[in-house]
Structure 1
Amino acid sequence: FLLLFLLGLNLILPRIPAAPRLSIPRRSAGTDTASSFPCHVWGFYPGDVTVTWLRDGRVLTNATRSAPQRNPDGTFNLTLTYTFTPTMSDSGSIFSCHVSHAALAQPLREEWGRCA
């Protein structure tokens, strides 16, 4: 009975917000070859998070977002993947992943870099 009571309290008590972390695996993008760029976001609570890919400061709307997955510690993770085929006109473009969450004072931003 005590265990059930404690488990019930865990469901009622508010959890402490946890700020997300992000990473973008480094890889090169070849011209005229389809490339996928994942932005991994993990360790955040609550589960509401805004993740966007930007190209030269403009939001890319055709990225694919995974469903948030709950971790054993109650935090969440997800991946936003942008797939495209770079051309010579993309040379010099800067791609970045932005993350906004209630536990962050300011959004996170990590640049993937420039297309070669």
Structure 2
Amino acid sequence: ISASSTFSVAPRISVPRRSAIRNTDTYIPCHVWGFHPEDITVTWLRDGRVLTDAIRSAPQKNLDGTFNVTSIYMFTPTDSDSGSIFSCHVSHSTLAQPLQVGFPLDVTGESVLETY
């Protein structure tokens, strides 16, 4: 039995974008990387409620045998979304508790269209 088939590595997660422009299609990615085994659950929450319309990439295998995956939540924010707590929640067999990165969404002014 090779040791490589039984190794376990906990995932790491990051959410690089935490702001959005009002009334503009917005993608918020949650990067999850460096984990093994491949089976993992990534869930987006807003104010504690599960968001069902996130999309997830297929797991990518790294040279060291670990995996990466990205979950993206897409939406068009309005002023009422500002300050909502969005969080990326990750469950994996190596974790006693799920990992979670949460942040208050910062909704800024809409992109300005020049009118002449």
Identity %: 63
Task: Report whether the alignment pairs 1:95 with 2:114.
Answer: no
Question: Structure 2 counterpart of 1:54, which letter?
Answer: L
Match of 1:37 among 28, 40, 45: 28
Q: How does 1:1-116 map to 2 (within 5 A)?
A: 10=2, 14-116=5-107
Q: Which runs of 5+ in 2 are unaligned?
A: 108-116
CA RMSD of aligned residues (A): 1.6
1:105 Cα deviation from its structure 2 partner: 1.2
**Structure (1 or 2) with the greater strand fraction:** 2
TM-score, structure 1 length as denominator? 0.85
For residues 94 and 27 of structure 1, do their structure 2 counterparts lie closer, same or farther at Cα, with a shift above 3 Å needed? closer
Gaps of 5+ in 1: 1-8
Q: Show structure 1 runs of 4+ deviating over 4 A.
A: none
Question: Are the counterparts in 2 of residues 22 and 42 from structure 1 also a CA contact under 8 Å?
Answer: yes
User: Bigger radius of gyration, 1 or 2?
Assistant: 1
